[in-house]
A and B are shown apart, each in its own frame.
Chain A
Amino acid sequence: MKLEEFQAKKLFREYGIPVPDGIMVTTAEEARSAAEKIECPVVVKAQVQAGGRGKAGGVKLVKTPAEAYMAADSILGMDIKSFRVERLLVDPAVSIAGEYYVGITIDRRKKLPVMMASASGGVDIEKVAAETPEKIFFQEINPERGLRSFEAKQLAFQLFTDKRKALATASVMMKLWDCFHGIDASLVEINPLAKLEDGSIIALDAKIVLDDNAMFKHPVMEEMRLPTPSEQKELDARSHGLSYVQLDGDIGCMVNGAGLAMATMDVIKHLGGTPANFLDIGGSSSPEKVIHAMELLVSDSNVKAVFINVFGGITRCDDVASGLVAALREIQTDIPLVVRMTGTNEEEGIRILSDFGITALKDMTEGAREAIRLAGEGGCS
């Protein structure tokens, strides 16, 4: 789960990381009064879960409350990388003397959290990593012991020779680890961590991605979720035990298992079709789940054919077949359906479907080809 900047800054503040005293607003009028309260100049920043806001025109420096109103008015409703801007953060403007980068993520190869720091902050850090990797410094963190003071200092002195700034930065690094660990994040990032003209160190931007697996430990974080409409659909799906991601093709896919779901989408693409979605119905397959899955698929108006691909393991083919028959009795749809079914209890599953007038195929490629053919026919009529 990704947080927006204002949420991440709130958490940073709780962990003692210095951040500007900004105000989150949702209207231009609120932006004006925020600017009055904070004292101009201020920065008006679009709150979206995507990078590149500045380039997209979603960040504006303004000198008066009236300008803040105008800026907010132009940014609200803007589309940034397909995220619609609904919230703004009004932050006091500061005099920046230098921009740095500090972040923590899990290094899959080392299976450990790693802190990254660079004096080349304020820009796309992946670009820095690709072009000038020597400018990024790393510190592995033993998650049981946590980041230790000497490790933070080792990193901080790579960024600053001045003792006061290095120690202030080391302190931010220690607090950033406390935050990462305390909220079970998969990523925390300060870019830029700014050195101001008065010599102080402050986090001017904040990025946090939480580990969805750890949400059970932090129920209060769930309330921070601000889903976009497409994410709302994914969340609703998840509440029914379905893993769903909408794409822009015309063949709806329903598959058990994430890997097989991706393979199914790939084979559709390989044969010249376009998948409308990723949908993993998971291990168990109650009829309710299959009904919800079918509802999801037919609610996408782009879908011209549905391909159901089930390899029975824990999932039993007869369970899926029963669910599907129940779903089709409940949902009236003209969208053509192709079912591929094999594995545990396949004979029973195929019999249930054929009693209902559906012929199940046993081969995935054959099923994908048939779904593409049917989707094409739908397009011509």
Chain B
Amino acid sequence: MSILIDKNTRVMVQGLGRDGSFHAEQMKEYGTNIVAGVHPGKGGSSIHGFPVFNTAEDAARETDPECSVIFVPAPFAADAILAGANAGVKLVVAVTEGIPVLDMSKIVIELNELGTCLAGPNCPGLISPDKSKVGIMPGGIFKRGSVGVISRSGTLTYEVVNQLSLAGYGQSTAIGMGGDPVVGMKYNDYLELFEEDRETELVVIVGEIGGTDEQDAASFVKDRISKPVVGYVVGRSAPPGKRMGHAGAIISGADSTVEAKVAFLREKDIPVADTVEQIIDLVGDRLGGRN
């Protein structure tokens, strides 16, 4: 098992420009079941062996996708997410970076009404190793196993996953939930799914400065999650008020510092690593031998 995506998940790719086309090919090579692409004006053609449609609605009618991944440029991405959701997919993964926050706030209401889950925006996507990859992660570093990974970042997820894999701890599903102030699913939504997933034995949550998502996750873990959870939070050197690359990574108050987050996680009995190496130690302590 894994969460949200597996080898049968039917995936549609929206936005087949340079990045979208490249990653569609990469996903397909990884084994993702891509059934359609969407790109206005390219309808009727095919690329990397799947058909391309002008609109999400056309693609959905012909190919019945369950999941859509968005590579559409920022000014049009919020609309593309809605197009995917209204076409009936149950999960939208928005890789696009730079979508206005207020636009996201507007569309999450509609996504809730439609019952569509959203990962991202500004995220690397998700991967269930050896089964399916929906996003832009380098597939080679992932290894199938029992650790769930939820992160707000992209390359830091790779760093963590790489070291987990090298130490013998494979992953059930790894998720980058996105670096923007308003994202679809958050730690709690994924934690709930990992709790239900039989393959997942432990969850690593990778956080950063800004907001209070990590605290929300810690309270949720304490109340609702029986599986062990290990935390890691970055951004100790970040000055207040500065945006550290991610639009969400701004120290905006006492609660959003690394120190506050780490203290809160520990208060809720979640062990927190200071470095990536320590994550491996903490995971090892809880899972025992290598898996």
Give chain B nearest CB distance to A138 CB in angstroms: 16
- Indicate if A55 sits at the interface (CB-CB under 8 A): no
- Indicate if A16 sits at the interface (CB-CB under 8 A): no
With contacts A113-B105, A212-B247 known, is A258 near B181, CB below 8 A?
no
Q: Is A213 touching B245 in the complex (CB atoms < 8 A)?
A: no
Mark each residue of chain B from 98 to 117: 1 if its CB lies under 8 Å from any CB of chain A, else 0. 11111111101100000000
CA distance A272 to B238 in the complex (A): 16
Q: Is B245 touching A261 in the complex (CB atoms < 8 A)?
A: yes
What is the predominant secondary structure among interface residues of chain A facing chain B?
mixed
Name the residue of chain B whose CB is nearest to the CB of A248. B239
Q: Is A108 touching B248 in the complex (CB atoms < 8 A)?
A: yes
- Indicate if B182 sits at the interface (CB-CB under 8 A): yes
Give chain A nearest CB distance to B227 CB in angstroms: 24
CA distance A265 to B239 in the complex (A): 12
Q: Is A106 touching B182 in the complex (CB atoms < 8 A)?
A: yes
Q: Is B105 touching A269 in the complex (CB atoms < 8 A)?
A: no
Among A196-244, those with CB < 8 Å from B are 211-214, 216-217, 243
Contacting B276 at CB < 8 Å: which of A109, A181, A262, A364?
A364
Q: Is A217 touching B242 in the complex (CB atoms < 8 A)?
A: no
Contacting A258 at CB < 8 Å: which of B138, B141, B249?
B249
- Indicate if B290 sits at the interface (CB-CB under 8 A): no
- Indicate if B157 sits at the interface (CB-CB under 8 A): yes
CA distance A249 to B249 in the complex (A): 20
Number of B residues near A (Cβ < 8 Å) is: 63
Among B117-146, those with CB < 8 Å from A are 124, 136-138, 140-141
CB-defined contacts of B181 to chain A, threshold 8 Å:
106, 108, 186
Among A354-368, those with CB < 8 Å from B are 364-365
Number of A residues near B (Cβ < 8 Å) is: 52
Give chain B nearest CB distance to A244 CB in angstroms: 9
Among B162-177, those with CB < 8 Å from A are 162
CB-defined contacts of A267 to chain B, threshold 8 Å:
275-276
- Indicate if A257 sits at the interface (CB-CB under 8 A): yes
Name the residue of chain A whose CB is nearest to the CB of B155. A257
- Indicate if B246 sits at the interface (CB-CB under 8 A): yes
Give the tally of cross-chain contacts (CB within 8 A).
Answer: 173
- Indicate if A311 sits at the interface (CB-CB under 8 A): yes
CA distance A263 to B152 in the complex (A): 12
- Indicate if B216 sits at the interface (CB-CB under 8 A): yes
With contacts A258-B245, A269-B237 known, is A343 near B158, CB below 8 A?
yes
Q: Is A311 touching B162 in the complex (CB atoms < 8 A)?
A: yes
Among A282-331, those with CB < 8 Å from B are 311-315
- Indicate if A280 sits at the interface (CB-CB under 8 A): yes
- Indicate if B234 sits at the interface (CB-CB under 8 A): yes
Q: Is A262 touching B235 in the complex (CB atoms < 8 A)?
A: yes
Give chain A nearest CB distance to B274 CB in angstroms: 6
Name the residue of chain B whose CB is nearest to the CB of A245. B242
CB-defined contacts of A212 to chain B, threshold 8 Å:
243, 247
Give chain B nearest CB distance to A129 CB in angstroms: 9
Mark each residue of chain A from 256 to 276: 1 if its CB lies under 8 Å from any CB of chain B, else 0. 111111110111111000010
Name the residue of chain B whose CB is nearest to the CB of A259. B153
Q: Is A263 touching B242 in the complex (CB atoms < 8 A)?
A: no
- Indicate if B244 sits at the interface (CB-CB under 8 A): yes
CB-defined contacts of A162 to chain B, threshold 8 Å:
none
With contacts A258-B245, A313-B158 known, is A144 near B234, CB below 8 A?
no
Give chain B nearest CB distance to A166 CB in angstroms: 28
Give chain A nearest CB distance to B150 CB in angstroms: 13
- Indicate if A247 sits at the interface (CB-CB under 8 A): yes
Most chain B CB inside 10 Å of its own CB: which residue of A216, A262, A313, A315: A262
With contacts A108-B182, A243-B245 known, is A275 near B158, CB below 8 A?
no
Q: Is B159 touching A213 in the complex (CB atoms < 8 A)?
A: no
Q: Is B101 touching A214 in the complex (CB atoms < 8 A)?
A: yes
CA distance A280 to B247 in the complex (A): 13
Q: Is B105 touching A343 in the complex (CB atoms < 8 A)?
A: no
CB-defined contacts of A257 to chain B, threshold 8 Å:
153-156, 245
With contacts A262-B235, A313-B138 known, is A109 near B105, CB below 8 A?
no
Among A108-132, those with CB < 8 Å from B are 108-109, 111-113, 126, 130
- Indicate if B206 sits at the interface (CB-CB under 8 A): yes
Interface residues of B (CB under 8 A from A): 19, 23, 74-75, 98-106, 108-109, 124, 136-138, 140-141, 151-159, 162, 179-182, 206, 208-209, 211-213, 216, 234-239, 242-249, 253-254, 258, 274-277
13 A-B pairs, CB-CB below 8 angstroms? A106-B102, A213-B247, A216-B74, A216-B75, A258-B249, A259-B179, A266-B258, A266-B274, A266-B275, A269-B237, A278-B237, A313-B154, A364-B159
18 other A-B residue contacts (CB within 8 Å) besides A258-B179, A262-B245: A108-B211, A111-B105, A112-B105, A143-B102, A143-B106, A184-B101, A211-B100, A211-B247, A245-B239, A257-B154, A257-B245, A259-B179, A260-B158, A262-B236, A266-B274, A278-B244, A311-B159, A365-B275
